[in-house]
Copies of this chain bind each other. A is one copy, B any other.
Amino acid sequence: MTTSNFDSLFRARSATFVGASNDPGKWGFRTLKHMIDGGFQGNIYPINPKEKTIQGLKAYRNITDLPETPDLAVIIVPPPACPAVIRECISKGIKAGIVITAGFAETNAEGERLQQEMVDTAREGGMVFTGPNCNGIMSPWNRQYIQFPAFYSPPGPIGIITQSGNVMDSLSYQINRHGFGCSVCVASGNEALLHCEDYLEYMGKDPHTRVILSYIEGFKDGRRFMDVAREVSKKKPIIMLKAGKTQAGARAAASHTAAIAGSDAVFEAIGKQSGVIRAKNLDEMLRMGLAFLRQPLPKGRRLGIVTAGGGWGVMAADACEELGFDLIKLPDETIRELDKILPAWWNRGNPVDLVAGAVADNIFKAVELVMQCRNVDGMMFLSIMPAMRRESFDQPHDAAEREEWGPQMLEACANALDEFNAIADKYQKPLVVASEHMWAGQQEQAAIDFVLGGRNAVCYRMPDAAARVLDALVKYGDYVRRHSKS
């Protein structure tokens, strides 16, 4: 694989859709429609021997007839026709393809044979292709949207490599809901020719990609994956959900993408050696990914917690200790300083319980006092409301006032996150925030994550989720330190 192959795939200047359709029920319709609607800037050539025009574009009978050599061929013809299309692509000089069509190695022996024929043909001709049996790709910086749902991820810093199309859809959609965008997303399908590690290598070099999320059911070449991951991890965090880890899951994976799931223990070892962070589910993967975009990496597991809610502090302490964090004893000097700003009966422990009624100035001061302790590597803050610098959280009854109130409150919430993030920046230690947003009406609740994301900020819901995020930061920090020395 050369860089130019990947540029043709992800930064295509022109594309042909082989099997393009005017029938809205067909994939040959949807993929093309989304490419057009997504605002692709280059030429698009639909190929369909039975039609004059497809979705308003001039249709061609075959690849040979095209007036230029497009960078990319999207292939949506039935399986038996696919190998011939690959041959045509090569004859024309096309360097990259995406085979959307399903019905190959994931179904039966004949499918397996056809898939191998495509691979052999492409290899010989110096062409690469994604798939088959895949959901397409999104390359938002190139406004190149070739995927099933009518959803157009905005450009951003997050790369997605997934062996499931639904997972690409779900992750990119959630990333957008959180106010972030994607660099490159690929649903790799059966990975007949291009494997997850190939995309990983590409994203490792891609300047837009700052963090990589990956859903994997099985490796075609575990050794090469490990080698690539080890290098990429030195520069960019990779967060992975490895599915198919049980027998039932492995069976499902085999019929889904013809993946051989392999031993979960082996994957665990691969992950550790290559710095890959493992997520339990897709929501956690996203939570971790967003933290890496923003938080300084901690130097260890010595933790301070400040909470505006007693119960939240207890839950956080449990979650952090279970993950091996050391909730440090606060230095006497810090306690003396905290005494000056907290009520007489404050608990003098860690978590620092701010007790009801703390005001914002004192909250940020308390957080900073803990953050500047030499024996603190990172922090968690819980329950953001009193840090929002609002005297009242009551919704106005008047409709016009209510209209203005929502954005003002969202702004107050984002400002509080900004203040916390400024403390993290100042001390170069992570500060992860978890909170309920009880003040919010339905509208504000829906907007919070998006508004915060617009400031490159995140607020988690549950203390145990925040603890898992801190754990990921520590693990990756360890990896980076270990490998920056060598």
Which residues of chain A have a CB within 8 Å of any CB of chain B?
Answer: 24-25, 27, 102-103, 107-108, 148-151, 162-167, 169-170, 173-174, 177, 215, 217, 241, 243-249, 251-253, 255-257, 280-283, 309-315, 317-318, 320-322, 327, 345, 347, 349-351, 353, 355-357, 383, 392-394, 436, 438, 442-443, 445-447, 450, 461-465
Contacts and interface: CB of A to CB of B under 8 A. Distances in A.
A314 B446 contact: no
Given A310-B166, A446-B446, A252 B462 contact: no
Nearest to A249: B318
Most buried by B among A249, A321, A327: A249
A442 B436 contact: no
Contact of A317 (B151, B251, B394, B438): B251
Contacts of A310: 164-166, 252, 256-257
Contact of A345 (B107, B280, B351, B436): B107
Given A173-B436, A173-B438, A321-B248, A311 B464 contact: no
A326 to B, nearest CB: 9
B151 A314 contact: no
A323 to B, nearest CB: 10
Contacts of A450: 442
A133 to B, nearest CB: 9
A345 B283 CA distance: 31
B318 A177 contact: no
Given A383-B166, A436-B170, A249 B394 contact: no
A243 B318 contact: yes
Most buried by B among A281, A315, A450: A315
Contacts of A25: 357
A314 B256 contact: yes
A249 B317 CA distance: 5
Given A243-B314, A315-B249, A256 B166 contact: no
Given A318-B245, A318-B249, A462-B282, A353 B173 contact: no
Contacts of A249: 314-315, 317-318, 321
A252 B436 contact: no
Contact of A311 (B151, B167, B347): B167
Given A248-B321, A321-B246, A445-B446, A169 B313 contact: no
Given A163-B311, A167-B312, A442-B450, 13 more contacts: A25-B357, A149-B393, A164-B311, A166-B310, A170-B438, A215-B311, A248-B317, A249-B314, A255-B353, A256-B314, A256-B353, A282-B315, A283-B462
A463 B163 CA distance: 17
B438 A149 contact: yes
Contacts of A108: 345
A282 to B, nearest CB: 6
A106 to B, nearest CB: 8
16 contacts: A27-B356, A149-B438, A150-B394, A164-B309, A166-B309, A166-B436, A170-B436, A170-B438, A177-B445, A241-B315, A243-B311, A246-B317, A252-B314, A253-B314, A256-B347, A281-B465
A336 B169 CA distance: 32
Contacts of A447: 442, 446
Contacts of A350: 248
Contacts of A251: 317, 349
Contacts of A248: 317-318, 320-321, 327, 350
Give 6 nearest A-B pairs by CB, closest first. A164-B311, A446-B446, A166-B309, A249-B318, A255-B347, A246-B321
Contacts of A281: 315, 462-465
A149 B308 CA distance: 14
Contact of A252 (B241, B243, B313): B313
A318 B244 contact: yes
A167 B315 CA distance: 10
A447 B150 CA distance: 21
A317 to B, nearest CB: 4
A310 B170 CA distance: 13
Contact of A446 (B321, B327, B355, B443): B443
